[in-house]
Amino acid sequence: MKKPLVILDPGHGGFDAGFRAGSLVEKDINLAVCLELWNQLWGSGVQVLMTRETDEARSAEERAQYANDQGADLFVSWHCDLLADEHVAGVSIWIHEEHAGGRHMEECEHIGERISRDTGQLMLGVFQERDRVLEKVLAPSLIIHGAFLSNPTERRLCTNPEFIKLQALGAAKGIIEMLRMMSPIA
């Protein structure tokens, strides 16, 4: 029986650093969480591939094409957030607006709640946006915004390997449950 295939997509990379807050760089945090998540999922019998495993640049097209060529069952991007208001903190899930509706949103919400349960962060909800990567990915897809680099507490947590592990652990539980809901035999 074919194992479900999850493609992890650490946001940014190479010349594209993403958000910066002091010495913290978003692309590095995204990669650290995804590598940890890769470990967690692999240990649970899920096939996992990543759009990048090092600090390399990847275009939106390359990321989506890779997922489609590999025949992904689920595509998960990881990003961080940054706002002018430093008080805002928590996890949020983002989906491409044309994929919104019904069960997918509920399953995505569940992943956010799983992360929140393990890290103690707020789960802010499931939001829609036009996303250049997700719009081209054929598999069900979502973006996890794991933390706000503008929030002093979450900024500090992002430098803590234990926190990175907890985020990955929560996300892995949510992803595995989502795979089960998508295909009862998985």
Residues making contact with Zn ion (CB under 5 A): 11, 18, 79
Question: ∠86-90-96 over CA atoms, to 5°?
Answer: 110
Residues 145 and 147: their CA atoms lie apart, in Å, by 6
**Closest CB 81 distance from Zn ion, rounded Å:** 8
**Closest CB 171 distance from Zn ion, rounded Å:** 16
Q: Based on CB atoms, which residue is closest to Zn ion, 18 or 112? A: 18
**Closest CB 103 distance from Zn ion, rounded Å:** 26
Q: Based on CB atoms, which residue is closest to Zn ion, 64 or 176? A: 64
Residues 29 and 7: their CA atoms lie apart, in Å, by 17
Q: Based on CB atoms, which residue is closest to Zn ion, 5 or 25? A: 25
Minimal CB distance residue for Zn ion: 79
Closest C-alpha among 32, 26, 39 to residue 82: 26
Q: Based on CB atoms, which residue is closest to Zn ion, 146 or 170? A: 146
Q: Based on CB atoms, which residue is closest to Zn ion, 11 or 146? A: 11
User: At residue 100, what is the residue type?
Assistant: A
- The three-class DSSP label of residue 100 is coil
Question: Exposed, middle or buried: residue 81 (CB in 10 Å: 0-12, 13-18, 19+)?
Answer: buried
**Closest CB 181 distance from Zn ion, rounded Å:** 27
Query: From residue 185, how far is each of 22, 67, 73, 111 by CA, in Å?
Result: 46, 22, 13, 19
**Closest CB 182 distance from Zn ion, rounded Å:** 26
Which bin fits 102, alpha (ψ -120 to 50), beta or left (φ > 0)?
left
**Closest CB 19 distance from Zn ion, rounded Å:** 6
Q: Based on CB atoms, which residue is closest to Zn ion, 38 or 78? A: 78
